[in-house]
Structure 1
């Protein structure tokens, strides 16, 4: 067994946490990506659309720049927002699907000295949205949702939105509406420091890789294996409901590497000093807030909130990055900042 997780009390403690997560979480059924060939990146905007686990269908082959397919900002209250505001008493809250075990993004910190409240970069954004819409940053009902259940939770109306390191891609914009991007990342390989794996390359031959079910990571691996860009002997059959479970599988020696967003992988490397990122990111993708397809007023409102959030240097995006992510991704946030938003969706 590799050395224990920093701040989590080891694999045994992690197992306990996972059980608690399973009990607490609801049982609810990634953006243009680029694959690397010969050391260079090529755009493949519909790669993630190959994953039927995510949407059950193939996205439009002509899809380009999905992160730009959102509505222009507005502070107006429409029917969706009014419905949220009209909730009474204790139910007058924004209902948001989040993660509760992604370190520094959305997680319950057992060492916080509180009641293991949810905290992290995504959680900060949720509080900002709630403050703008309901006037109270704490007016939030959090619902923990597995990776592959984010879209069903939105479509079924169980949540108003999902803020859970969710990549905007061509397949997903067929089923849900996204805000403008609020973070830039890319897929990377995580493996033990002693591993011969050097990155997303031929060293993954005969290796077992873990990904989260319904993730961009899995659909990218699936597509690259079919196209021959990933060795045919690479085993990608291990998928888990939540990405952190891959780290546990890696610690137990059940898999040889993990593929996930570099932003998440960096946090996992911070939890376990025996693992590290291998090679550079081999995709470029963007996180967005996901909402119902027809919730136009809510999409516009969130986009306005994001504009203001990025302008707020004291308590906005930059401050949240410094608090939660600078330790794992570096003090310079430029590589993680999303591009200036474009609002190409008209209806």
Structure 2
């Protein structure tokens, strides 16, 4: 496989939008990864992972052992996981229950339950798109589980787990717009993307938009489109479909950009924590819990059932 790219399998997960801050704990099974491998030494694993930093599928081997980073987290009696608060069915507060919930939240709670053994010791902390890398590097959170694309540039700053989902970038426009393709929707137009997002990087590289409007969170782009201040929004396909479901006056343009994968972000100085996360992902997928979470949160909204499922033929 070509390094630095993902195999051309896409996710088209539909995610309704919601917003609310949340800091809470929870437990339960979740995850997704290849078959489990237990007990690999973290320092050696870290060296192996660094041997090819541009292979976005490469991560430290799974391990159930507690290394220094995991022991330090247990000693402070709190695992802090950065999550989204703007994407219903991925991560948002349910107004009826007051609980934050979604596909990524199931995964975050699964990791927390496996590492801490007590859901009351897990804190879910909302983190803005633009702050994800900084939050990990400065140890404001221990992990990020927030539809975070794995790419070579980010791998220079943080470590990633094995991927747990496929995505692509998509473009939204007002339903009244006559455009029929991604290029037509972007070229010479005012386009919105979240700061620090893959969409921002794609648009910045293309340099075909008349103007690039940058916001803290992708939900802000929908508001700007409703106000008529932008012509289009680029975001990953799950979030794009969520915006289209939230607001019937916008639609997704035909065509996808840059197939990618999502992973859990961890500090590069905590390879044993990354190994533990990979073990949770492996166990979670093997148990069927990944599939159960997917069917609960995302399957009813999928536009292309055949192409979203990461651990199948796309796994390495």
Normalised by the length of structure 1, the TM-score is: 0.74
Alignment of 1:328-339 (within 5 A): 328-330=301-303, 332=305, 334-338=307-311
Q: Could you tell me which of 84, 87, 101 is aligned with 1:99?
A: 84
CA shift in 2, pair 1:330/1:308, >3 Å: farther
Structure 1 residues not aligned, in runs of 5+: 1-5, 9-13, 26-61, 226-230, 343-347
CA deviations over 1:141-164 (Å, ceiling 9, x no partner): 121111111111111111101011
Q: Could you tell me which of 143, 159, 162 is aligned with 2:141?
A: 159
Contact map agreement 1:211 1:260 (CA 8 A) in 2: yes
Counterpart residue number, 1:129:
111
CA shift in 2, pair 1:199/1:312, >3 Å: farther
Alignment of 1:103-122 (within 5 A): 103-110=88-95, 113-115=96-98, 117-122=99-104
Counterpart residue number, 2:228:
253
Distance 1:136 1:292 in 2: 23
Normalised by the length of structure 2, the TM-score is: 0.80
- SS of the residue corresponding to residue 219 of structure 1 reads helix
Aligned-residue Cα RMSD (Å) equals 2.4
1:235 to partner: Cα distance:
2.8
Counterpart residue number, 1:274:
249
- SS of the residue corresponding to residue 70 of structure 2 reads helix
1:7 to partner: Cα distance:
8.8
Alignment of 1:316-331 (within 5 A): 316-330=289-303
Q: Is 1:69 the equivalent of 2:58? A: yes
Distance 2:91 2:216 in 1: 16
Distance 2:185 2:112 in 1: 46
CA deviations over 1:247-298 (Å, ceiling 9, x no partner): 1111111111110000111111111122121112111111100000021111
Distance 1:121 1:242 in 2: 18
Distance 1:208 1:327 in 2: 32
Distance 1:106 1:138 in 2: 19
Q: Could you tell me which of 176, 179, 186 is aligned with 1:194?
A: 176
- SS of the residue corresponding to residue 71 of structure 1 reads coil
Distance 2:91 2:292 in 1: 16
CA shift in 2, pair 1:187/1:161, >3 Å: same
Distance 1:289 1:222 in 2: 25
Contact map agreement 2:16 2:89 (CA 8 A) in 1: no
1:334 to partner: Cα distance:
4.5
Q: Could you tell me which of 267, 276, 283 is aligned with 2:258?
A: 283
- SS of the residue corresponding to residue 223 of structure 1 reads helix
Counterpart residue number, 2:202:
220
Distance 1:304 1:81 in 2: 13
Counterpart residue number, 2:280:
305
Contact map agreement 2:163 2:262 (CA 8 A) in 1: yes
